[in-house]
Each structure stands twice: as structure tokens, then as C-alpha cells.
Structure 1
């Protein structure tokens, strides 16, 4: 004999016709639609914007155009390296380090190329008024700078002090 199983009662569908549920569903649909429209508009603006930001900063330089400099005081007069640093920064150079040279008895200011790009050293020499004969090359892979400036006893005759 088969056992009798009572019939499962049918569940009533949710009452979607109540005014509260209808209002909540309509408000949700409206808010989601507004959010989608806002995001689509924002994406459109971002993709089609040919902004003025590219033209706002004409003096910005690429990484390959920035010359990093190490300024060393080799004349023994205090404050000279700071004055040269301020001058070089005003001319657009990136002075990464300031300090004293191993000797304080350097007669003429030297510009030392550290990475094998003499053009950068000549640019610094030109900005400071240093003669091209005083531009030398000493490659050093341990330095993370392009050019070293060693200020000599002729510091007062160069451009930053004129």
C-alpha cells in the first residue's frame, strides 16, 4: 500500500500590487537609471575631453630633459654652494645634493660630467659662465646625478655673483 502524502499548500505570490512595494521598486529603478546615465555621461566627457591641461604647464620638462646636479664647495667660503644652488634652481636645473668638496683649495670652478653626456655639462657651464676648458668627464656609475659642480676660488667672477 502506498502511503498518503498530504498535498503541499501552494504558496501565494508576493503581493506586488501594494502601493508601498510599487513605490520602492519605482524609486529604485529611477535611482539606478540616474546612476547609469551619470556614469555614461562621465565616461563620454572623459573620452572626448581634449583638455587645456596639456597647455597649462608649458615649462614642464620630460625626465630626459632634467639635469640633476651635485654642487660642491671647493673654495672654503661658507654659503657659496647655497647661492649657486639657488641660482641653478632658478634656471631650471634640479640640484639634488649640496656639500663640501674633498679639498677647499680648488682654484677654478669645475663642471664634471658623471654619466657620459657632455652636452648637459656644457649647459650647466654656460649657465654659470664657466669656460669650456673647465668642463671634464669623470664617469661614475655609483652617482645618480648627471653633473657635478665644484666651486673654486673664482666663484665671485661667475654669473651667480654678478
Structure 2
């Protein structure tokens, strides 16, 4: 009979130990849950703050006035033997707000007159560029070529120094 009592007593002790262990485990799990919850909250708050900063900086950037010529893509080619002429015209056109993506020498260096070639089907862009360059209508050509990925090609000819725009280019170059 004593053995049975002892085993009941041992079971009570073991169950009390188990209850204490379970209680400590539950407290530990609760503490870890609070720590993890705090970490998630803190990380989420930081991410939200950063998102608001990005949104504010984007809003400031987007509010800047847009250049009406920035969507007109031009390539400038020098059809003369004068070095640096394409760069002079490129700098002028960029100063006016055009997007000049290529500048270099034409396949020939004996082009008699300056011409503006429309490469994309956008006549309003041609008129905008020509308003800046002041070329007569005989110098405007329509040779569409979407593979070039430009709206216009300006080929500077030997008559560059007689163009009305060239005096403006020279005054910029001197300043």
C-alpha cells in the first residue's frame, strides 16, 4: 500500500513540476511574442516613414515645370570639315531644351547645305525644332526611319555660317 501512496505523491509532484514548467514556458512564449510584435511594429513604422519621405521627394520633383522640348529627340551630324561644329549645335539645342542623344560626323564632309530630316511621324516636333533653327522650308525633309530612334536628324552643311541661328551659337560659345 505504501507504494501506491508514493506513486500518487510522486505523480502530484511531477504534475506540479509540469505545471510550473508549463507556466514558465507560457510566460517565455508571451515575452517573445511581445518582443517580436514590437520589432514588427518598429520595422513597419520605419518603412512607413521612409515611404512618406520618398513620396514627398517625388512630389517635389514632379512639381517642377516640364520643358516642352524635352520629348523631342535629335541627332546632330557635322557634314563639314570644321571640327567641333556638331558639338556647338548640340550644346545650343540642349540649352534650348531639346534632347540631343547623338552628335558626331556625317558620312560625308561635303554636305552643301544644312538640312533637318524628320525621322518620326511628328510634324509638330519638326515645326518646334525648325522654329529654333529658322531654316527655310526647302531644307526640311521627311525620311522616316524608326530604327534610328530619333525624331529629327540635323545635318550641318557648308552654309552653317550663313544660318541665322549660327550667330546665337557663336554668342553662347564666346560667353
TM-score past 0.5 threshold: yes
2:21 is matched with which residue?
Answer: 15
1:31 is matched with which residue?
Answer: 35
- 1:108 to partner: Cα distance: 2.5
Q: Which moved more, 1:71-80 or 1:148-157?
A: 148-157
TM-score (norm 2): 0.66
Identify unmatched segments of 5+ residues in structure 2.
1-10
CA distance in 1, matches of 2:137, 2:42: 61
After the TM superposition, which residues 73-92 of structure 1 pair with which residues of structure 2 at under 5 Å, given as runs?
73-92=78-97
- 1:39 to partner: Cα distance: 5.7
Secondary structure at 1:71 match in 2? strand
Of structures 1 and 2, the larger Rg is shown by: 2
Say what the alpha-carbon RMSD is for the aligned residues: 3.5
Native 8 Å contact 1:118 1:137 kept in 2: no
Native 8 Å contact 2:70 2:99 kept in 1: no
Identify unmatched segments of 5+ residues in structure 1.
1-8
- 1:65 to partner: Cα distance: 5.8
CA distance in 2, matches of 1:44, 1:97: 42
Native 8 Å contact 2:118 2:142 kept in 1: yes
- 1:152 to partner: Cα distance: 1.5
- 1:97 to partner: Cα distance: 1.6
- 1:150 to partner: Cα distance: 0.4
1:14–1:111 distance in 2 versus 1, CA, 3 Å: farther
Tell me which protein shows more helix as a share of its residues.
2
Secondary structure at 1:17 match in 2? helix
1:29–1:146 distance in 2 versus 1, CA, 3 Å: same
TM-score (norm 1): 0.70
